Structure 1
Amino acid sequence: MSKAYPGTQALDDVDLDVGPGEVVALLGENGAGKSTLAGILAGLTEPSAGEMTWLGERYRPPSPGSALEAGVALIHQEMRLLPELSAAENVVIGRWPTGAHGFVDHRRLLAEAAEVLQSLGFQPDPETLVRHLSVAAQQQVEIAKALAQNAKLLILDEPTAALGQSETEALFSRIRELKERGHSFIYVSHRLAEIRTIADRIVVLRDGRKVAEHESSDVEVDRLVTEMVGRSVDRLFPRMPDPAEDVVLEVEGLTGADDRFRDVTFSVRAGEVVGIAGIVGAGRTELVRAIAGADQATAGSVRVSGRRIRTGSVPEAITNGVVLVPEDRRHHGLVADLTVGDNTMLTNFSKVMRHGRIDRSRVAQLGQRVINSMKIKGRSETRAEALSGGNQQKVVIGKWLELGPRVVLLDEPTRGIDVGARAAIYDVVRGLAEQGLAVVVVSSDLEEVMGLSHRIMVLAQGAQQGIIERSEMTPERIMALATV
């Protein structure tokens, strides 16, 4: 398959085959061609050249509906469910079972949807609204939706990006069960360790071309990294500097609304990176949002350099040097259709105003300064949506660093980012520590949180289970605390 856009060869003569009951991992940096290939297979993208066969017949779907009708489904990283409908309604949407008079037969609808959902180990009530479901449960709904339409090949795009360890293991169990029933998978992920757990074969793309294919998943991670980025990434996690003695951030007895987290106490020193680990739903995101003033805490206190700050006030948190890089950068960290310069301006109006009006030359200078300091591949006038995930994340971090913060809260800083860009983000974290900032990193990736942190605090069901020093960190110890 090949796909050319004006000035860009997104996919160049790529061969791929998938057998029945097989998981083929598709690896590559952002821009390697993975999404283009997945889009062609799923009927989203028209190829420029090449041929496909599916179940022995010529295959070239003109639309996602045609692909799904043929048995090929793409499960997007950003799930596309209707939040105000129930899980069951989302499973059968577009294929409503009707009764004799043409009305929707809700009893039949529930029965059909529940059968598919339960086969995937879905625990909540099928009548639960999607907006009330966890990310893991929503993912099960997406897969059930595809299976209900008899999909035999499922393309999973970063399926564990928002999942913790236990949710990931549960997903892998479902995949293995479906494999035994003859379903096949193309598995797109940046988490190389999990590829070795779930994949049968590995295909590596770089710059739109297939550069390697492995007949088993038993491949050294270092080799896969080199194949993906075209160079050796010797040390994915940089050596962190020793922190100073003075405490910058103090959190004491902090409790959130609806007890999403409760009685949390910890501190962060200058130049220290404290990780927050726990499974999805443990209260990690809610905790850092409260520290950053985005949510109101119902009890406890937050102090920066000894000064107490009000919770529930973002301006007060920012004034006292606390900034948050949110989990969902596209919806909460950036305005995608604005330029790099304009996104940076949004947190730095005082630097671009002149005589009460925005000075566009100052905006351009500010954007370029962030581009240079963060080593972003782009220009000040580049729209944020045109950047790779790694460069988007650098823009979010860079716009806050222009304020000269003392505390930086990073929620899932490398979610959906390829391995080469991850190394660059890790270097940014090291740079923050070297500058003497207090850094808090929330991550569902155990390897990441262990590789970056001086200490790790573990949450489970909103309760603080303990703080582990670097010398005592092991995945087993973290998970033992996270699953109590």
Structure 2
Amino acid sequence: MSPRHAGSRTPAFHVEGLSKSFGGTLALADVGLTIDRGEIRGLAGANGSGKSTLVKIMAGYHHADRVARLGVGGRDLPEGFSPSAIQAAGVGFVHQDLALVEQSSIEDNLAFGPRGFARGFGGRIDWRRQRARAVEALARVNLQVDPQLPVSALAPAERTLVAIARAMSQFDHAHLLVLDEPTARLPHADVDLLLERLRHVASGGTAILYITHRMNELFALTDRVTVFKDGRNVATVETGATSVEELTGLMTGEREPQREAGRFAESRLGKPVAALRGISTGRLRDVSLSVGEGEILALTGMIGSGAEDCGDVIYGLTTPLSGEIVLDGRSNASMTIASARAAGIAYLPSDRGRAGFAESSVAENVVIADFQPVTRGPMVDGDAVRRDAWSVIRDMGVVPADPERGLRALSGGNQQKVLFGKWLRVSPRLMVLNEPTYGVDVISRRELFAGIRRARDEGMAVIWITTDLEEAVAISDRVGVFFQGRLRTISKTSEVSALDLNRAATGL
């Protein structure tokens, strides 16, 4: 047992006998969890395993159907507690959306919470006390910056630390911090900084529940890892005594978990499908590249490098300032969404809110890309809609398997499966995917890899945009690296490593 939590007597957080259902679907079944003071506990599990439901109950946004006990710092909370009650008990939450106002100062953002601004005579803001509060809050996460700076001036990891400092500053003593995918949007160079600061926070006695799909972070940071599967806590293991294979096996139920394939056989490239020639935008500078039939071209780089802009240009969401887009040998100064769709281009943006309709059902999201196969004259054939939806659900392994369920009700990874399957259903000539594995667990990631490889083998061209350098190497035939808006290199994947890509992506 780690020294950080070996001697703890009163836990920072505990819950026993927690169950929750939504309609007829069991989300959590008799879950128990105890986290010691100063412990960094990892929480792992496939998308839909119950992690998000647990966090929402802990935060007071959902209420459990049944719970034997739920307490913070040795004190039990009453059933049906509110979000303000759990915060008052000393639990802070930092979600993937940091909810920071970028144009406001750091000290203002630290005050945007239940505690509010420091007040003086007549209820006026006492700026001297407020500044002292801000300095103290930043010191708790070991962040040495001017509190009067706007959040927009900070590096991504520093913004995350401001959100953590705000969560901790709402109470005198933070018993527990719950961090949901805190590095999902961070450049690789910033991840180590954040992990080091989290160790500093834990050394002061605050426990951390760290939720991530990134196995390397679990092993680099946590003391123990709890694994959820099908709404149950199936195991808690000492991080130093386990392995990636064991954790994956616990998540999947496989005795011998499959290893995700690394590099795979290069395809025989067909004729060019699409090309950018001398494209410049507000961020891109004179970018030229092409992708052929039966090829996966990965585009990578640090966040803001320009790689992510290529998808918007190809799909007609951004109009180039100069250059041309070539499709099947025909030159276009710019594209529209309609012309891109007519040319057989599908686009899955990084923001799922732009890719699907959260309030619509799975079935409606599946068929919205092309209604023709499910219409009979002027009418939509409901049976045909359900048939196509079930086909995507089965092929992509969507959980729960319910075509009538709202897209918003699914976990992030299962939403991504639906949106990915929606485009595979229409057999595009070119699919552009922007950060397709963002927020996706290792099992769903493996399934997405398999699906895109099958499509490639059937002749589809793919542009796979990712800031994950190892992923770029694992999935592609060729890989291009962006730095400050320029395409620095483009190489056969068999001839480069993730280290080579990192050098190019950081300007070395």
Give 3-state SS (helix, strand or coil) of 1:234's partner. Answer: coil
CA distance in 1, matches of 2:390, 2:267: 31
Q: Which residue of 2 aligns with 1:191?
A: 214
Match of 1:342 among 360, 364, 368: 364
1:410 has 2:433 as partner? yes
Deviations 1:67-120 (A, max 9, x none): 222221121223334567554323212412234232334565455335534755
Normalising by structure 2, we get a TM-score of 0.85
- Select 1:234's aligned residue among 258, 266, 290: 258
Q: CA deviation at 1:124?
A: 8.5
- The secondary structure found in structure 2 opposite 1:416 is coil
| Alpha carbons 1:114, 1:126 under 8 Å: kept | no
Tell me the amino acid that sits aligned with residue 427 of structure 1.
A
Contact kept, 8 Å, 1:87 with 1:126, in 2: the verdict is yes
**Higher deviation after alignment, 285-294 or 118-127:** 118-127
After the TM superposition, which of the residue ranges 105-114 and 396-405 deviates more from structure 2? 105-114
| Structure 1 residue 483, shift from structure 2 partner | 1.6
Contact kept? 2:73, 2:175, Cα under 8 Å: no
- Structure 1 pair 210–394 and aligned structure 2 pair: CA distance change class (3 A): closer
Partners of 1:167 and 1:237 in 2: CA distance: 27
Of 101, 118, 133, 1:97 maps to 118
Q: Deviations over 1:366-402 (max 9, x none)?
A: 4345445545453443322233433322321232234
Match 1:26 to one of 43, 60, 74: 43
**Which residue is equivalent to 2:5?**
none
The amino acid that maps onto 1:54 is V
SS in 2 for 1:17: strand
- CA deviations on 1:240-283 (whole Å, 9 max, x unpaired) are 551324222222222222xx222222222211111122222222
- Structure 1: segments with no counterpart, 5+ residues: none
SS of residue in 2 equivalent to 1:254:
strand
Residues 122, 140 of structure 1: 8 Å contact kept: no
Q: Which moved more, 1:265-274 or 1:51-60?
A: 51-60
Q: Give the Å deviation of 1:129.
A: 6.2
Equivalent-residue separation in structure 1 for 2:405 and 2:456 (angstroms) = 29
Cα distance in structure 1, aligned partners of 2:374 and 2:154: 42
Q: 1:383 to 1:458 in 2, by over 3 A?
A: same
Residue in structure 1 matched with residue 160 of structure 2 by the alignment = 139
Give me the whole-angstrom Cα distance separating, in 2, the residues matched to 1:33 and 1:313: 40
Question: Residue 488 of structure 2 aligns to a residue in which SS?
Answer: strand
Could you list the runs of 5+ residues in structure 2 that have no partner in the other structure?
Answer: 1-15
AA at the equivalent of 1:267: S
Q: Count matched residues.
A: 480
- Aligned with 2:31: secondary structure? coil
> Structure 1 residues 353 and 205 mapped into 2: Cα distance closer, same or farther (>3 Å)?
closer
Q: In the TM superposition, what are the counterparts of 1:290-369 in structure 2 within 5 Å?
A: 290-329=313-352, 331-352=353-374, 356=378, 358=380, 360-369=382-391
TM-superposed deviation, 1:456: 1.7
2: CA distance, partners of 1:218 / 1:303:
53
CA offset at residue 9 of structure 1? 4.1
Cα pair 1:243 1:269 within 8 Å, conserved = no
Tell whether the 8 Å contact from 1:309 to 1:320 is kept in structure 2 after alignment. Answer: no
> Which residue of structure 2 aligns with residue 72 of structure 1?
91
The equivalent of 1:4 in structure 2 is 20
Of residues 3-12 and 15-24 in structure 1, the stretch that sits farther from structure 2 once superposed is 3-12
State which of 27, 47, 55 in structure 2 corresponds to 1:38: 55
User: Could you tell me how far apart the structure 2 residues matched to 1:444 and 1:60 are?
Assistant: 44
CA contact (8 A) 1:293 1:310 kept: no
**What SS does the aligned partner of 1:315 have?**
helix
Task: Name the SS of the counterpart of 1:80 in structure 2.
Answer: coil
Q: Secondary structure at the match of 2:123?
A: coil
Matched-pair contact (CA < 8 Å) for 2:134–2:147: no
The aligned counterpart of 1:472 is 495
Query: Distance between the aligned counterparts of 2:150 and 2:342, measured in 1?
Result: 41
TM-fit CA distance, 1:188: 0.8
User: For the Cα contact (< 8 Å) 2:301–2:469, is it kept in 1?
Assistant: no
In structure 2, C-alpha distance between the alignment counterparts of 1:218 and 1:462, rounded to whole Å: 43
What's the CA shift for 1:340?
2.4
